[in-house]
Structure 1
């Protein structure tokens, strides 16, 4: 008997909210919405395409999305046809979004409301998609806002810790998140309040300043508050958009901090599973009992690579340490294809394990359900 995940619910442990698009998208606008790049693709003025040639800026994941949407819409598998049909259905954007979530059996999302800015409403997003929404509280917007409000580091220090502690007491907030990989990298120095204070004025003048000692200090405070509240520290690892400090984005740079005795009981969630350094993330979660990883961003944005990644991750990662995620951030089609592509690829991997006599079908089915939602329930069980 083969594994089947089609009817299994999914909990997405990392995605972002979005608003309904008020006007129909052109094909070019839709492709831009699907891109991780913060720099728009430049299309030469006299660029020529032949029939069926992918639209400029499209990559494999976009191609897979077009192919799957064309089947769902019963239309020609071209960007232009799919966007035309999509725009008709998305006139009632709430119904369209809920239909996609329901079709994917996507029942819940841990949403990072730190992007986009200004903040969107949790209640509005929950109403839009019809799924249960949990929230993580991103520390960088707090740092920026308080740096403008506080005259000195002492005031900033007290208000910053109070903000994080207060947020973690709120219902529905399951943890904190840092995108320090985008600002100064993941090589975190020991906590040093004096050095952090020395960089405060620099950060106050320019919130994009590297200010590494201050940023490291703020991450340590966030780790401490998550430890106190028994909630989860989310840390962006690996690639993202073009602003990431790529040379310091591997999760391996976090290892000294994660091994610190004072954090031995701190739950840490490696967002994006360190992609493309997935082997490092898999090894880290295999040796540190309270560190977990998700497969967001690499799923669905690596396209056909999702199958390879799933196989690689489980070369080292324990089955109970990996969670489903998408990093969907602009349109509900990302949430939808994320689940379907993941299930499709994971079924192939799990069934290959059965064929190789590594396990029986019941064990493989259980592993699929663990990654799709059961691991989430176990990691976040106190806050559901």
Structure 2
């Protein structure tokens, strides 16, 4: 997975990444249907293979050599070699190729049997921390049984217990999937929460009651840890026009001076996210998930738009890899290559000094995340 030459590229290739938002990988074997399902955020299309997407092509181009195959190996050959090596070796190779030193793992989405944070870190030769998904906490509270009038206190207590577990460094909300961001930004009253809890508990299912989603976001503020928010690109459950992060502007005004807010993924709203990072002290962003889906060829364009006005202390790296370890390697490659190209070109044009470029690369690759999550140097 060689990157182009140049001092910025070389420095980025040597840096261990802090992946501030990721997931486990499937621990067992995957057949073709299972692997292809994890290649895409979309539904399956009869007669159309997810290998015939930008992400699928990038896997065959950049991941095949990691499995000792020729570049652009046919999909059947790729999957046969993957099965021959077996999941532990495949995962080890791709996680090693990513050169990630710290994994911040969202443990709240597990439709598959995934590696634990510890297993992921051991395979990648790094250390792991946990990100608590607050909707999962709320749904567990409901599943245990709670009266509507006691929901607020029960959720708050469960969230506090969750974030006090060893290794937890942040929380996450998937409000984007549940309600979108067209929410009243104000903290809901106790009476509003009780009425909303009564409606939700009566019908059951996942947490998609707007008042309770607002309550969850304000509870995150009270917890005091960095809050990750999915924005932009996701699967078909998303209503993309409702997850533009600029819709959070009023809430960000109300929460100024409280906790760091980390906008995940962002595409196609990377410019809106950049604006928020430029005008709100507490806002940060990444282009995770996007980078391995656009691939190394387009990573620079996406990052360049994000960095038009984003303060350099506000860009973090994440892979948002889920299920297949290839996305760890592809996300890291796309980030290193895309950021390296745009910084190196600015150095070559004398718009940026080389020492500054190297410093900015270190910040985005690892140091910004260490600062936001209060991680020690080295881990």
TM-score between the two structures when normalised by the length of structure 2 = 0.89
- CA, structure 1 residues 208+164, in 2 after alignment: closer, same or farther (shift >3 Å)? closer
Runs of 4+ that moved beyond 6 A: none
User: Separation in 1 of the partners of 2:367 and 2:351?
Assistant: 22
* Greater alpha carbon shift after TM alignment, 354-363 vs 70-79: 70-79
What is the correspondence of 1:147-296 to structure 2 with a 5 Å cutoff? 147-189=142-184, 190-193=186-189, 194-204=191-201, 205-208=203-206, 210-226=208-224, 231-260=225-254, 262-272=255-265, 274-296=266-288
User: Separation in 1 of the partners of 2:25 and 2:241?
Assistant: 30
Following superposition, the deviation at residue 175 of structure 1 comes to 1.2
Query: Is the counterpart of residue 17 in structure 1 residue 24 in structure 2?
Result: yes
What is the correspondence of 1:63-82 to structure 2 with a 5 Å cutoff? 63-72=57-66, 73-75=68-70, 77=72, 78-82=74-78
Q: Which of 105, 112, 130 is matched with 2:106 structurally?
A: 112
User: Separation in 2 of the partners of 1:14 and 1:209?
Assistant: 22
Partner residue, 2:82: 86
Partner residue, 1:333: 326
8 Å contact 2:100–2:124 — kept in the other structure? Answer: no
Q: Which of 95, 101, 106 is matched with 1:101 structurally?
A: 95
* Greater alpha carbon shift after TM alignment, 4-13 vs 164-173: 164-173
Partner residue, 1:50: none
User: Separation in 2 of the partners of 1:102 and 1:59?
Assistant: 25
- CA, structure 1 residues 117+59, in 2 after alignment: closer, same or farther (shift >3 Å)? closer
CA offset digits 1:172-202 (Å, max 9, x no partner): 1011111011011113311223222222132
8 Å contact 2:180–2:242 — kept in the other structure? Answer: yes
Following superposition, the deviation at residue 57 of structure 1 comes to 5.7
8 Å contact 1:223–1:263 — kept in the other structure? Answer: no
Partner residue, 1:48: none
SS in 2 for 1:296: coil
Query: Is the counterpart of residue 297 in structure 1 residue 289 in structure 2?
Result: yes
Following superposition, the deviation at residue 271 of structure 1 comes to 1.5
CA offset digits 1:36-82 (Å, max 9, x no partner): 12x222227xxxxxxxxxx4562112211211123332326222222
8 Å contact 1:299–1:325 — kept in the other structure? Answer: no
- CA, structure 1 residues 340+95, in 2 after alignment: closer, same or farther (shift >3 Å)? same
8 Å contact 1:113–1:138 — kept in the other structure? Answer: yes
8 Å contact 2:181–2:242 — kept in the other structure? Answer: yes
8 Å contact 1:76–1:82 — kept in the other structure? Answer: no
Q: Which of 338, 341, 355 is matched with 1:348 structurally?
A: 341
* Greater alpha carbon shift after TM alignment, 247-256 vs 146-155: 146-155
8 Å contact 1:13–1:109 — kept in the other structure? Answer: yes
Q: Which of 27, 32, 41 is matched with 2:37 structurally?
A: 32
Following superposition, the deviation at residue 341 of structure 1 comes to 1.9
CA offset digits 1:284-321 (Å, max 9, x no partner): 11111121111111111122321101111111101110
8 Å contact 2:299–2:337 — kept in the other structure? Answer: no
How many residue pairs get aligned? The number is: 363
Partner residue, 1:122: 117
* Greater alpha carbon shift after TM alignment, 189-198 vs 333-342: 189-198
Partner residue, 1:380: 373
TM-score between the two structures when normalised by the length of structure 1 = 0.88
8 Å contact 1:69–1:82 — kept in the other structure? Answer: no
Partner residue, 2:7: 2
8 Å contact 1:12–1:109 — kept in the other structure? Answer: yes
Following superposition, the deviation at residue 118 of structure 1 comes to 7.6
User: Separation in 1 of the partners of 2:112 and 2:80?
Assistant: 30
